[in-house]
Structure 1
Amino acid sequence: MKSGRTVVSSLVPCRSGAAIGGFPSRLHRGGGMDTAPTVSWLEKLIPQAWHDSLTLFVALTAACAALLYLLRPETRKSTLRSLLAAAIALVVINLGPQDGQAVAEWVKQVAIIVLGLALIRLWAMMLMRLFLPLLRLHPPRILEDILLVLGCVGWGLVLLRLAGLDLSHIVTTSAVITGVLAFSMQDTLGNILAGLSLQLDNSVEVGDWIKSGELSGRVVEINWRATLVETRNWETVVIPNSQLMKGQFAILGKHQGAPLQWRRWVWFNINWDTLPNQIISVVERSLREAQLPGVALSPEPNCILMGFENGYSKYAVRYWLTDLAADDLTDSVVRTHIDAALRRHNLKMSSPHYNVLTIKDNEKYMEARMKKHLEERVQALRKVELLSSLNDEELVVLADQLKFTPFVTGDIIMHQGAVAHWLYIMLNGEVEVWVNLPDGSRKLVDVLEGGNFFGEMGLMTGEARSGTVIARSNVECLRLDKESFQSILSSRKELAEAISSILAERLAERTRKLPQDWQEGHGSPQRAELVDKIRRFFGLAKH
């Protein structure tokens, strides 16, 4: 490095009446040019008498920075970057262009600015991370940032003042700008002030384990905007400082005058056959003799009877955890030792006991229930006009064969043209009966409610469905199959004639509801014809 005088000579070209450092030369009061050499702001910044002191200051800074690099490994990257910036600035100042042109002057001015910023950065780190810790003072990290910002602002004001600007106007303008920024950056400023408060009052420090709501982890950094928390799941959660200050959080394991330890609870249940004193003695002696890793020796682990529930005694082991990052793992180790200690003394853990009231279905109960259902079905069959000729015994036989069949709104119960040998007896609800016409349209011919029946032609003659039945609401039906009716008709062949008469009347009534052209093409079958179809379908011989 050149001497201080060489630095000044390279920085300050002495040309009368020329623009120096990008700023115009002064004019003489008489209106002419001043013939005296103009003093640049760089020469004001570094007077001739300070050259040797500046060299000594730079050397002292380099020595202290080397010490900081060796003693504080976490600052090495920042220290190297600042030293590199200062070195480049010094090279430009000493070895830069010397022709006094405006470009060369601007380059040197920028180098001076960078040198100042680098030195401020280095001294802020050395003060906060080297000198004060040697005096056993550990200021919060955010104070270093504040000191750095103030130093940079001060350096900028010095440069502006030496350049000839009036700082009073800057202060007035900056006050207005500051007010506007403060209004528009309320959240950001709130986080900054909250972060400063957190560190100044030592309410939470880097390294503390905290719990806020469901979040639990270790604080790794408190910066201007947020607090960074590392969880046990290897996640880094960013909490805004203002949110942390407004809410409630717990600092885990922190007790005045005690080492970092956090009390944990492990629960287990034992039946009532063993005295609680025996269980407590066995568990405590086992844990104290084991000296498990992560479990503090003082206070010692203890076992407590917590209550009686559902046929067992509820116990808890309380121990103090020394490694807060290994909470679940240490809990597991403690549980394992508790289980082993109990097994060695033939003590078994218990599960909850419950008294369940059950009703045993006996023959009388089942008989009464079946009789009730059977009576309900017989009453439903009596409402079916088609089965009015059956006696009580025959109705009971059919009732026992009925199958409960529910439908919900919109279900298609039967399709027109489909073949199905079922009769539906409606208990409740409503259904619509639709018929497809030759022109492709369809017509609503009937709406049936609870107590009605449909599908009788399919059951008695085996013919395809003459209409489509759709559930208008939730419908409950009882379904009667052909096989259930077969035995009754086989024993009473005269029923076919009675049933055929009813079928003929129902078909005639339904046909009258259809258009005239449909009636002409689909005449209703006569009673004799229906009797013959029923006999053929059920395989009944004529008598």
Structure 2
Amino acid sequence: MLSVIEHIIQPMLWAIGTYAVLRLLIRLGRRIGLISGLSILGQFLALSSAGLIGLWSDQQLEHWPLLTKILQTTVTVSIIAVVLHIGDQLLVRRLAADGRPNAIPRLMRDIARGFVLLMTLLICIGHFFKVQIGTVLLSSTVFTAVVGLALQDLLKNVIAGIALQMERPFMPGDWIFIDVQTGYGRVLEMSWRAIRVKPRDGQVVVIPNTIIAQQQIINMSATGLPVAMRVAVTVDCVHPPMMVRELLKEAVLSSRGVVAQPEPFVFVRNYTAFSTTYEVKCWISNYDDFPQLQGDALSRIWYVFQRQGIHFASNEMVLTRPEQASRQRRLDYTPEQIFDRLRRIKLLDGLHEQELRFLSEHVEIRLFERGEILAHQGRHEHILYAITRGKVRVEVAHDDQPAIVVSHLGAGDVFGERGMLMDEPRSASVIAEEDTRTIVIERHDLAPLYAKNPSLAERLGVMVAERQQATHNYLEQQRSVNQNPTPSPAARSITERIRDVLLDLSK
């Protein structure tokens, strides 16, 4: 009785121990990422190995020859499959670390593994079952023909997949054109049967390799060079084409993602009795964000047109007088509203009410989008900006060094006084950090006020000197130079220069 129990318990313990050890090793391999997606194969390997070890421990291999041969073949093929899978994972990691994740396509790796497994299976059958493989293959012609006919569609996809992998018209990560209904999609994976593509709507489309091999493929990512982006706008026909084309070019160049080379090209596409349609062809470096970049370009065009008084076309012909155009550039603000905002500007504290009302009839309101440059360092611009809403940063660049942010300005602050009053180039660049609304005062708007109030030059001179000294001190602090700072020009000398400029204008 004890002998019978021993013959039952001992093989079971060996089988259970083998199964537990193999399952533990497989789980460890999954945790470190070397064995993934092999749940069925891992279970099969553990069970087959447990059965084989159980028979071996009880010396029952000779008593169960057919079962032993089947288990030996199964275990051998399973071990080779796991080893090939681990080697494939290590190869993928090495290629990814070298920056070549798609150097060996998955389909080619799968075919290589399948060939090795097939050869292993044939060798095991010949070795364990003592069968002549050549004879078996030659005698199974009819069976092979039946299987071939049943799997002809699958074989077509495999052959088409091999051709695609060898030619490589696209790779995972590329954007390709699928069809008119789906549009463009990003290639996620190329397998032995099909490719998986993800359109911009978020769904995943599985396309058999035979269909891909037979249709025209448009690859937007093949060359690695910038990709063309087109936007079209229709404006009122009263605006000169040359001016509109220059504004469109300026707008798209300042938009996010648009590269300077190749240079954007703007052309007139169509005329009607009331409108002119322009098309802008520019280039972007990242096709992944194509819809967002196209929307940003159109948004930037709106802001530029709004500031320059360019009107989009309507279905009716509208005749606009010059004084009406001037009022439209104030965004439909009433003079009283502009006057109220001018009173909040510190620079204009000394002006009388009549002088402020005079300015409110001549100034403009301009909008700037986040990221737009309001003023460029080094340019000659005779405009003073007063911020009524929003926030900007002031940057100064020296030589080839990165630009330094010297200050931030918000509602109530002004900039551009040196260029307007002293005829100097911009000493810094000003960039909008959020959507910003400004009051624009041009140099010739101040000439009549100076003729009536000469003390305006003194007030402006003091403010310019204070702003210049503050910027100078900040830059000296950033450079950490152990030298005495160079003194800024005195307020009196600045005042004299401002007085000369305003005096020339008032003549």
- Give TM-score, length-normalised by structure 1: 0.46
Could you say which structure has the larger radius of gyration? 1
